[in-house]
Structure 1
């Protein structure tokens, strides 16, 4: 009894501790005096100073300004909610510590069912409130227009977004977000946005298809802008003004920046570059426009980026200079098209003159190096168990060295006396570290990552079966070398005397070989046993990729241990387990099941 009392007491204490967070218990948009807490009631409770008595089922004596929503649930609103106090809004997960959580994939969804924006964030005071949204997906009203300013959010405070998704927001200015970001009163602080790992998709406005800001007042990192539209043709991230305060135009440490982010298939220019704004390591592809340039003080720049293949009705629009002859935007170390200025040779920009951009459809699977030998990028894709998709640069067969690529190893980490030098970001859009331990990094949002080895591969099979698995995910950001190139790359014929297979595979046996294999450019590995043996065939698989072929050492391959375990079909029937014939037998089974259930609950 003593142990049971302690257990119950601990549960009660845990429940009391967690009750300090405001839990939304209904998905309906209601305000009434009951035991249910709606999202609207939770925010109104915080706006009103969180009285100890609570409010319509929300909060209480120990509450604090953090609102928790249930993962994957849809919370519907009929009209906007005003936010006038500091708060956190997030998605809660199950308490099971073994749950495999990928941030962004199980977001709670807030959906506008009426014709309105979702949040109006503004307390009317000069000091900024800190508002934080984490792992929330927003769905706008998808009507023309949800609101005049900000189809989903109007922000005049300090708003932080992390692993958030915005879609279907419609407005005149700012399809997803209208950010004031500007103060005519010197005593007031301009509102700001801090955006990390966020998706803006299918939002629409006249100006600012995704974001409209009265001036650059934001930091946007590791984010994606896809299929948004500015009906005026202006920028998806639109800045009405530049910054005039020279103290805020620090070239080496920008306060306002878009970095490690991708703009893909938007209607309109990606960004209009104004004074006070930095664009670094971004990829801008297949939009109807690239970058609008409108700087007057040489304190706006685009660096270490890729801006190509952007056109409207077949006419290239990678860059547009708003005030021809007076623009002073700085371009440093980019891959751009002929419509963009490149500046002095010391600025290291390259002009792309190719025509083959994507190896396949705009989105989906990537063609092999045999099917497409010229395209710079693989199609847009979102990896398994990932939140944000991207465009992977390819390493082509006709590159004589890794430096032949117009993207790879083109970012220099040393200034070499160049006053406009801009360092690459320390990591890429996926959070992968860039190669800052040497002098090179890659242009654009994605850093090509080459693993030093592959994880263990293998399959358990029954007699008569064939082991099949795919190795592409284990290759990092590389492709297998076509078999036609293997003799050239390897400098020799296949040691087995057989013709080379795709990937130039070589097998190093740990046990006596017990089967044969095939490998193709799509990464499909197929192993066929040479008999009905029982046990394991263990060997090392070595393959050559588009990146490892440049290794100067003898190891121009990736290696993985492979284990194929074969056993006969189990057709034996157990004669030792009795599952019927007496109350004691059934009682014992139920007791064991009960213990299993108890142990799962305790986890």
Structure 2
């Protein structure tokens, strides 16, 4: 019944919007004797050239080379699948429009149940084919070794990953991916490439290249998180290139570089990457790995720029952030690093951090401490909310900063001018796709660009008489923290109400209605509203909150959040919360958007 229900629901969906796609109708790895379309048979159908007659329950006339899976289901494989033709494999999310979560949350899962890898991508021809994996999770074999080369994927073609999670791969070379790449000094070359975007690579293991083993550095990694992978050989790295590129490819650097950008590496064992000529690393956050970055680029055709490389390892005081081979000439520009990485380029030097307080938390990932609890740490722990696919380390704006530029991270990006061709500018957007400054003059180091909204929209709650409203505004604070209440007199003077300040120097301004309740807030952004009396109706007001970033704006040191509380008699409540679509919230959303547009001027 399960397999049939998958087929019926997906075929109905496919008939509406995916009529040409190949719909996988069973989660089992069934053979040709079954007329249900398994993942294996769907791929074999594409490999056969999409015959109009179909293949054992898959495809038919006018079928495309796109294979679709159902969200959150687990598709089990008994052995690897060969891919010898161009195709796309993706998850269909049939959640109603307006309710769909962020891409990556509802991925289908392809799981290897035997001692094998999952995909072997190679058409064994001179040309190359393109294989796209979109919103799909690959889960490895859960054994000591899944395969010699590529614990999840062996690639000899053009492989593109978008919102993909790769985990549990174990191999000698390439725990998650083995990339054949271009072999140097050969008349016939294999031009395979791996490119990943918005992807999560975690808990893979290999002797060499737990994340990716590539014959040469022919890969691109953007907007991704790479964590808890383990490379066991000391002279290797988690993203490992065994050889150098050919001289012709290197000569095209930097316009034709293989890059890692806007990505976060943490809790990996072994160096995260060995940098060879032809590679560029930009706007990375590399924190809490057992080792940092190896450099081996004697041709002066590689760079690390605008990045944070600290606390490798963490919390041990040992400095293992950078390692240089003899003769390395990489450009090492405008990073926040420790002394093992050196001051780098004399024209665009690194900042050397000598502090001891890096992570404002009990561990490297989890809850961030408040500014009153931890006054000095540079970064919040790695944090991922329930409704996001990827987490990140948020830079903190400390109360000791008089200007944003006092930070070693914020507004420390560099502008790339035409006459300064050896300067590497920031990426145009960060790991979360938040835009950086167009001229790169005031962008931030690391994978995250700090966003400071001047207004924060609407929150609210529907109550029954006798209840208390608990509302969080933490998401409305974006990348800032509420200032400690002890700082409020210095920022705003005495509280005009005559009462003691609360965290964030909260001020309540009534809108349309007189005050009907008592409001308190803590430093973590949790509001508690206690109605005063058994009134029936609404209490409409806004609160002004001073944050670690807005306090630096002398003309408007706060942001405003509109709050709506509706109280009703018992059995008459229709909703447990204020909806965030349409009506008044639509207007507040527009104002928030306009405020974000003005943010860039404020940051400058």
Q: Work out whether the TM-score is over 0.5.
A: yes
- In 2, distance between residues paired with 1:480 and 1:242? 49
Q: Is the 8 A contact 2:482 2:545 kept in 1?
A: yes
Q: Determine helix, strand or coil for the equivalent of 1:456.
A: strand
Q: What is the aligned partner in structure 2 of residue 585 from structure 1? A: none
**Shift in Å, 1:50:** 2.2
Q: What is the aligned partner in structure 1 of residue 270 from structure 2? A: 268
Q: Is the 8 A contact 2:351 2:408 kept in 1?
A: yes
Q: Is the 8 A contact 1:332 1:420 kept in 2?
A: no
Q: What is the aligned partner in structure 2 of residue 458 from structure 1? A: 460
Q: Which shifted more, 268-277 or 41-50?
A: 41-50
- In 2, distance between residues paired with 1:487 and 1:467? 28
Q: What is the aligned partner in structure 1 of residue 76 from structure 2? A: 76
Q: Determine helix, strand or coil for the equivalent of 1:440.
A: coil
- In 2, distance between residues paired with 1:229 and 1:239? 16
- In 1, distance between residues paired with 2:426 and 2:76? 42
Q: What is the aligned partner in structure 2 of residue 50 from structure 1? A: 50
Q: What is the aligned partner in structure 2 of residue 319 from structure 1? A: 322
- In 2, distance between residues paired with 1:14 and 1:280? 40
Q: What is the aligned partner in structure 1 of residue 532 from structure 2? A: 530
Q: Is the 8 A contact 1:481 1:544 kept in 2?
A: yes
Residue by residue over 1:111-156, the C-alpha shift from the partner in whole angstroms, topping out at 9 and shown as x without a partner, is 1110011111011112110111101100111222111111100100
Q: CA RMSD in A?
A: 2.1
Q: Is the 8 A contact 2:414 2:440 kept in 1?
A: no
Q: Determine helix, strand or coil for the equivalent of 1:503.
A: helix
Q: Is the 8 A contact 1:50 1:59 kept in 2?
A: yes
Q: What is the aligned partner in structure 2 of residue 253 from structure 1? A: 255
Of the three residues 227, 241, 244, the one matched with 2:243 is 241
Q: What is the aligned partner in structure 1 of residue 553 from structure 2? A: 551
- In 2, distance between residues paired with 1:318 and 1:230? 16
Q: Is the 8 A contact 2:488 2:501 kept in 1?
A: yes
Structure 2 unaligned blocks of 5 or more: 1-10, 574-604
Q: Is the 8 A contact 1:127 1:188 kept in 2?
A: no
Residue by residue over 1:305-348, the C-alpha shift from the partner in whole angstroms, topping out at 9 and shown as x without a partner, is 0001002865321001122xx11011111001111122244213
Q: Is the 8 A contact 1:346 1:418 kept in 2?
A: no
Q: Determine helix, strand or coil for the equivalent of 1:374.
A: coil
Q: Is the 8 A contact 1:413 1:436 kept in 2?
A: no
- In 2, distance between residues paired with 1:570 and 1:71? 37
Q: What is the aligned partner in structure 2 of residue 484 from structure 1? A: 486
1:498 aligns with 2:499: yes
Q: What is the aligned partner in structure 2 of residue 178 from structure 1? A: 178
**Shift in Å, 1:97:** 3.6
Of the three residues 517, 521, 527, the one matched with 1:515 is 517
- In 2, distance between residues paired with 1:213 and 1:219? 11
Q: Determine helix, strand or coil for the equivalent of 1:46.
A: helix
Q: Which has the larger radius of gyration?
A: 1
TM-score normalised to the size of structure 1? Answer: 0.89
1:442 aligns with 2:439: no
Q: What is the aligned partner in structure 1 of residue 562 from structure 2? A: 561
Residue by residue over 1:510-542, the C-alpha shift from the partner in whole angstroms, topping out at 9 and shown as x without a partner, is 232222211110111112223223322222200
The verdict on how the C-alpha distance between 1:52 and 1:246 changes in structure 2, with shifts beyond 3 A counting, is closer
**Shift in Å, 1:63:** 1.6
Q: Is the 8 A contact 1:282 1:445 kept in 2?
A: yes
**Shift in Å, 1:401:** 1.3
1:222 aligns with 2:223: yes
Q: Is the 8 A contact 2:454 2:558 kept in 1?
A: no
Q: Is the 8 A contact 1:514 1:537 kept in 2?
A: yes
- In 1, distance between residues paired with 2:523 and 2:29? 53
**Shift in Å, 1:571:** 8.4
- In 2, distance between residues paired with 1:416 and 1:494? 51
Q: Is the 8 A contact 1:407 1:444 kept in 2?
A: yes
- In 2, distance between residues paired with 1:265 and 1:338? 21
Q: What is the aligned partner in structure 2 of residue 127 from structure 1? A: 127
Q: What is the aligned partner in structure 1 of residue 425 from structure 2? A: 423
Q: Is the 8 A contact 2:183 2:215 kept in 1?
A: no
Q: What is the aligned partner in structure 2 of residue 192 from structure 1? A: 193
**Shift in Å, 1:273:** 0.6
Q: Is the 8 A contact 2:53 2:61 kept in 1?
A: yes
1:137 aligns with 2:128: no
Structure 1 unaligned blocks of 5 or more: 1-10, 573-603
Aligned residue pairs, count: 558
**Shift in Å, 1:257:** 0.4
Q: Is the 8 A contact 1:254 1:277 kept in 2?
A: no
Q: What is the aligned partner in structure 1 of residue 372 from structure 2? A: 370
Q: Is the 8 A contact 1:249 1:275 kept in 2?
A: no
TM-score normalised to the size of structure 2? Answer: 0.89
Residue by residue over 1:433-469, the C-alpha shift from the partner in whole angstroms, topping out at 9 and shown as x without a partner, is 1133672100000011111211112222222222220
**Shift in Å, 1:403:** 0.8
- In 2, distance between residues paired with 1:508 and 1:559? 10
Q: Is the 8 A contact 2:183 2:216 kept in 1?
A: no
Q: Determine helix, strand or coil for the equivalent of 1:411.
A: coil
Residue by residue over 1:485-512, the C-alpha shift from the partner in whole angstroms, topping out at 9 and shown as x without a partner, is 111122x111111111100011222232
Q: Is the 8 A contact 1:208 1:230 kept in 2?
A: yes
Q: What is the aligned partner in structure 1 of residue 158 from structure 2? A: 158
- In 2, distance between residues paired with 1:19 and 1:401? 56
Q: What is the aligned partner in structure 1 of residue 602 from structure 2? A: none
Residue by residue over 1:386-435, the C-alpha shift from the partner in whole angstroms, topping out at 9 and shown as x without a partner, is 10111111111111211111111100224495442111111111111113
The verdict on how the C-alpha distance between 1:249 and 1:509 changes in structure 2, with shifts beyond 3 A counting, is farther
Q: What is the aligned partner in structure 1 of residue 584 from structure 2? A: none
The verdict on how the C-alpha distance between 1:474 and 1:46 changes in structure 2, with shifts beyond 3 A counting, is same
